[in-house]
Structure 1
Amino acid sequence: MKVLITGSKGQLGIALNKLLSKRKDIEIVNTDIDDMDITNIEDVRKVLNKYNPNYVINCAAYTKVDECETHQDLAFKVNADGVKNIAVATKEIDATLIHVSTDYVFDGTKKEAYNEDDKTNPQSVYGKSKKAGE
């Protein structure tokens, strides 16, 4: 099985690599911004067609929460449009996409842990851009 990880140099990508590298039945392909620009659909298609993974795990994101407030266009370009590009290209090669989001899509008022069925209510540009990517 071949797994392509986007955002592999980030905190989540590094942790995922550490976990998956223990599995001898998984070939890992790591990509980051210098390997594949997720905001460019043709670049995403080119890389996914080159490696033809079974799974794509999207860990790529514009995660500088405070900077998202002043760089809103970039936040949505990466966190929403970039995810759409990955989803389209993944579907074209008949692979499975696993997309990682954030608890910032919620408003933080719930007393217990959130789950994926809870109503979203993002309070920041970062949260809104990540929700748009979902």
Structure 2
Amino acid sequence: MNKVNSLLLVLVTTLLFVGCKKDEDAEPDNLPIGRTWKITQLVLSTSIGGTVDQIPTMATCDADDIFRFRDDATYVRDEGASKCNATDPQIVEQGTWFKDGNTFTWDGDDYTIEELNRQRFKLKASNAAGSSITITFTAQ
């Protein structure tokens, strides 16, 4: 009987630890604040041209840019490791953003949040003509 009780205690304890494990993908509602992000996919889809990722066609000096979304509802776009022109400022773009539920408004344009976690931030916008843009950011 003692062995059964001991075994039962071990099983219950194991289940409690496994069942109470922190969900590593759970994130606070304020993401993407506090992280730096790089666009790793910029997919354009049209009824005429199909679906094309624009990142491979971009100049390296644009593709390595870093975005920071601040808690004051502003963002900056940083030139990243390489500049297109040596005299360009390091901060090449600034603007505003707003998150309301699953909608992310970025400089006045509305996107649907398709994914938002520690590693990825994915936005999509579509128009009446059936074209869409999907932007995937990866945390740096």
TM-score class, shorter: under 0.3
TM-score (norm: length of structure 1): 0.26
Please give the TM-score of this superposition, normalised by the length of structure 2: 0.26
Structure number with bigger Rg: 2
- Pick the structure with more helix per residue: 1
